[in-house]
């Protein structure tokens, strides 16, 4: 009987433990991306890829890559729930006059996905970041 009770408690304990785990708050995306250091490394990789991407690199010919990486790192840090403050231009003002097309936006997103793959960021977490960025297409794409 004692053994039976012990087994029951163990079973219930496991059940409650599993339940608590599924109910606990999901880790913030900021943590998952490796906090500021991880995001900075990711933006380094991402901007490196963008500057080599024949589909879009012409847009960045007069861009200071270090400044852009710093701006993007702050933006992603803030968006993902981190303690940073993005102080650059809003997305509409930053991309006005560039004549960015839908295909170019998608090319940049592909570069970001490839950068996240190369950093070993799990697919589900990649999607969390992409979901935060996707609505920006309205302000960034100005050409058909
Ligand atoms: C979700 C997509 C995008 C995000 C989150 C994003 C974010 C940013 C940010 C934060 C800046 C810096 C603004 C500032 O510091 O004031 C910037 C600048 C810029 N972005 Fe984007 N961008 C996106 C898509 C694109 C696309 C698709 C292109 C072109 C194909 C592009 C081209 C540029 C260029 C050329 C600059 C200006 C860099 C400079 O100051 O020389 N962006 N973007």
pLDDT in tens, 73-125: 999 999 999 999 999 999 999 999 999 999 999 999 999 999 999 999 999 99
Q: How far is the CA of 6 from the centre of ligand 1 (A)?
A: 60
Give the separation between CA 125 and CA 132, rounded to whole angstroms. Answer: 11
Spell out the domain ranges in the chain.
29-140
Helix axes 35-52, 65-79, angle to 10 degrees: 130
- For atom 14 of ligand 1, the residue with the nearest CA is 88
Q: Just give the CATH number of 29-140.
A: 1.10.490.10
Q: How many residues does the chain have?
A: 144
CA of 94 to the centre of ligand 1 (A): 6
Phi, psi of 133 (to 5 degrees): -90, -30
* pLDDT band, very low/low/confident/very high, at 65 (cuts 50, 70, 90): very high
Q: What are the C-alpha distances in Å from 84 to residues 2, 4, 121?
A: 56, 54, 21
Give CA–CA dist 140/105, Å, rounded: 8
Separation of alpha carbons 43 and 38, rounded Å: 9
């Amino acid at each position: 009987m004692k053994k039976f009770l012990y087994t029951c408690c163990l079973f219930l304990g496991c059940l409650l433990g599993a339940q608590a785990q599924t109910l606990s708050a999901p880790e913030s995306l900021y943590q998952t991306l490796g906090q500021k250091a991880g995001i900075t490394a990711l933006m380094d990789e991402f901007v490196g890829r963008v500057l080599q991407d024949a589909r879009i690199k012409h847009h960045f010919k007069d861009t200071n890559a270090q400044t852009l990486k710093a701006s993007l790192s702050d933006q992603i840090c803030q968006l993902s729930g981190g303690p940073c403050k993005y102080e650059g231009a809003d997305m509409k003002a930053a991309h006005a006059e560039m004549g960015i097309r839908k295909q170019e936006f998608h090319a940049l997103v592909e570069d970001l996905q490839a950068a996240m793959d190369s950093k070993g960021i799990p697919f589900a977490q990649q999607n969390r970041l992409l979901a935060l960025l996707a609505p920006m297409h309205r302000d960034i794409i100005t050409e058909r």
